[in-house]
Structures are given as structure tokens and as C-alpha cells.
Copies of this chain bind each other. A is one copy, B any other.
């Protein structure tokens, strides 16, 4: 039985799960969530995920929330040692960037997009400032590296890419960050890559 993903097409967090499944050529049944009517805050979804967020993954009896935790699950179950190695050092290197995907990236480019694209009330100046901080850090980090954590793509790249690539929808384009921009393009060149609205595989991110 295929995994079920409770999904929202414009969510970068849902997209990263869809993307990893595509890269691994894994079947996944998408269950669209009617976000605008608040379905994620009501039964039956709130019973699956009391945090009231998407994505939610269902694999048999297992229910998982949080996109980073879901990437870890899929990588460990079907990705061998490739996408998330289990040796302490490489695993910790991947973890460092999964935490950036959970913290600095949503607080920066993620929040800026929520404000501009979805009208969420938040401190947009603070979000843009945080976006600049994390993008400068990533730019320096990627100066002499192709991938964030290891010498190959891992779930660190999959976790961090979406809201960085979508930043232009929140007034945070990648023009000033050529290293980050090239890294996004490298991900788009991976076999079986799929895009999402605002981050299509066939076009570069707006500069």
C-alpha cells in the first residue's frame, strides 16, 4: 500500500516530501487538504496531527508530522545510506542543515513569503533581515561546496531548498546570492526532479 501524504500544493514543506519521493521514485498518494477552509485545524486531520499543520504522512499505522521528520523517515526507510547516512559525523552534518530548514529558513524567506503571498500579519522587515542573514551564511558556505552537508545531495538540500527558491515570492530574490542560486539549479538538475508553483524545474529562480 502506497504512503499517503496530506498535501497542499503551495506549501514548500509538502513539496519537499513530494520531491524526495519523486527523486527516490516512490509512489505516494496525495490527499489534498482544503487549507483555505481550515481543514487542517478540524477533524479528521487535527486527530492525525494535533499541531494542525501539513504535511502529514501516513504509512500503514504510522502517522508522522513535520516535514523534516518525514524526510528522515523516508530517507531511512527507502534511501539506504545515500540521503541520510547513519554514521555519527555525516548524520550530524545533515542534521545541522535540517535544523536550519526548521528554524532560520522559515523565519526568514519563509515568513517573508507568507506575508507577501498569503497576507499573513507578521513583521516583514524582521523576516527580510533574517532572510538576508541566512542567505549570506548559505552563500559563504556554498562558495566551495556543491551541496550543503556532504559531497553529494542529501535530505539537507531537499529540506532547505524550497523556501529559499520561493523567496522571490516574498521579496527575497536570489540575485545577490549566485552561489545559492547555482545550488538550487543543481537540485533542479537531479534525475526525476519535480517542481512546484513558483519553483519550476524548467526556469531559473527570478534574480
Contacts and interface: CB of A to CB of B under 8 A. Distances in A.
Interface of A: 50-51, 62, 64-66, 68-70, 72-74, 76-77, 86-89, 91-93, 95-96, 98-100, 102-103, 106, 137, 140-141
B102 A73 contact: no
7 tightest Cβ-Cβ pairs between the two chains A and B: A73-B92, A69-B95, A77-B88, A76-B88, A69-B96, A102-B102, A72-B95
A140 B140 CA distance: 43
B76 A86 contact: yes
B140 A66 contact: no
A70 B92 contact: yes
A68 B69 CA distance: 13
Contact of A76 (B76, B92, B103): B92
Contacts of A64: 92-93, 96
Contacts of A99: 66, 68-69, 102
